[in-house]
């Protein structure tokens, strides 16, 4: 199955469900440092899970060290091991984007079910926007939150829809 990642620049602020984090001004190095600090057991336990030396990881995550840095591969490994993606979120934010987790099949692999869930999410997004815009000059923070959550759900369902179609494409035999 193919992986999918969607980025919608500047569309959403923060929302629940762990979707976009709103970390104003946090850079990727600070995000990596915070990831390790929040990990249960700290850097030593995270390093063990990553299969790297704890002292080396500590030096690479130390914001006061200018000589040691995480490689891109190590950054991905750190985020996977910690199940914490704020480095990705901080990077996207610095580049003017927002990242959202896109779930795969949650419809038992049935593309019709995936399409139905996508349409329901599209309707919820439309309703949330209409409620926030209709008949008044300003929108409330609660209306904004509802629009953000509906947008995040719609993005998730778009990803599931793409995954459902991708699963239906016959695999090509390897070229010899």
Q: Give yes or no: residues 40 and 55 share one domain.
A: yes
Q: Give yes or no: residues 85 and 122 share one domain.
A: no
Give a yes or no: residue 15 inside a domain.
no
Give a yes or no: residue 14 inside a domain.
no
In this prediction, residue 105 carries a pLDDT of 56
Q: In the predicted model, what is the mean pLDDT of residues 49-58?
A: 95
Q: Give yes or no: residues 77 and 52 share one domain.
A: yes
- The pLDDT tens digits for 160-172 are 888 888 888 898 8
Say whether 142 sits in a helix, a strand or coil. Answer: helix
Token representation of residue 8: 């919608």
Q: Give yes or no: residues 69 and 111 share one domain.
A: no
Number of domains the chain contains:
2
d(C-alpha 161, C-alpha 117), whole Å: 9
Burial of residue 89, with CB atoms counted within 10 A of its CB: 0-12 exposed, 13-18 middle, 19 or more buried: buried
Q: Is the dihedral of CA 118, 5, 15, 85 positive or negative?
A: positive
pLDDT over threshold 50, residue 9: no
Q: Is the dihedral of CA 124, 126, 130, 133 positive or negative?
A: positive
In this prediction, residue 46 carries a pLDDT of 95
- The pLDDT tens digits for 110-158 are 888 889 999 999 999 999 999 999 998 999 999 998 998 899 889 888 8
**Residues shown for the chain:** 176
Q: Which residues contact 96 (CB under 8 A, 6 or more apart)?
A: 9, 10
Last residue of a domain, one of 97, 127, 158: 97
Give a yes or no: residue 156 inside a domain.
yes
In this prediction, residue 142 carries a pLDDT of 94
Q: Give yes or no: residues 25 and 45 share one domain.
A: yes
Say whether 132 sits in a helix, a strand or coil. Answer: helix
Q: Give yes or no: residues 61 and 31 share one domain.
A: yes
In this prediction, residue 160 carries a pLDDT of 84
Token representation of residue 72: 């891109």
d(C-alpha 28, C-alpha 150), whole Å: 28
E strand or H helix at 133:
helix 111-133
Give a yes or no: residue 129 inside a domain.
yes
Confidence of residue 176 (pLDDT cuts 50, 70, 90): low
In this prediction, residue 150 carries a pLDDT of 93
Q: Give yes or no: residues 81 and 116 share one domain.
A: no
Q: Which residues contact 107 (CB under 8 A, 6 or more apart)?
A: 113, 114, 117, 160, 164
Give a yes or no: residue 4 inside a domain.
no
Give a yes or no: residue 122 inside a domain.
yes
* Segments forming the whole domain that contains residue 32: 21-97
């Amino acid at each position: 199955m193919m992986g999918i990642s969607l980025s919608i620049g500047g569309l959403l602020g923060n929302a629940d469900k762990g979707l976009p984090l709103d970390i104003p001004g946090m850079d990727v190095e600070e995000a990596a440092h915070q990831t390790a600090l929040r990990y249960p057991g700290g850097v030593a336990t995270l390093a063990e899970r990553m299969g790297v030396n704890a002292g080396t990881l500590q030096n690479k995550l130390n914001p006061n060290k200018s000589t040691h840095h995480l490689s891109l591969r190590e950054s991905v490994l750190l985020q996977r091991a910690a199940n914490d993606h704020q480095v990705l979120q901080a990077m996207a934010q610095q580049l003017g984007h927002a990242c959202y987790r896109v779930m795969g099949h949650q419809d038992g692999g049935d593309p019709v079910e995936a399409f139905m869930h996508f349409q329901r999410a599209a309707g919820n997004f439309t309703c949330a926007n209409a409620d926030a815009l209709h008949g008044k000059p300003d929108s409330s923070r609660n209306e904004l939150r509802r629009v953000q959550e509906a947008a995040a759900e719609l993005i998730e369902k778009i990803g599931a829809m793409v995954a459902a179609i991708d699963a239906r494409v016959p695999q090509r035999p390897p070229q010899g």
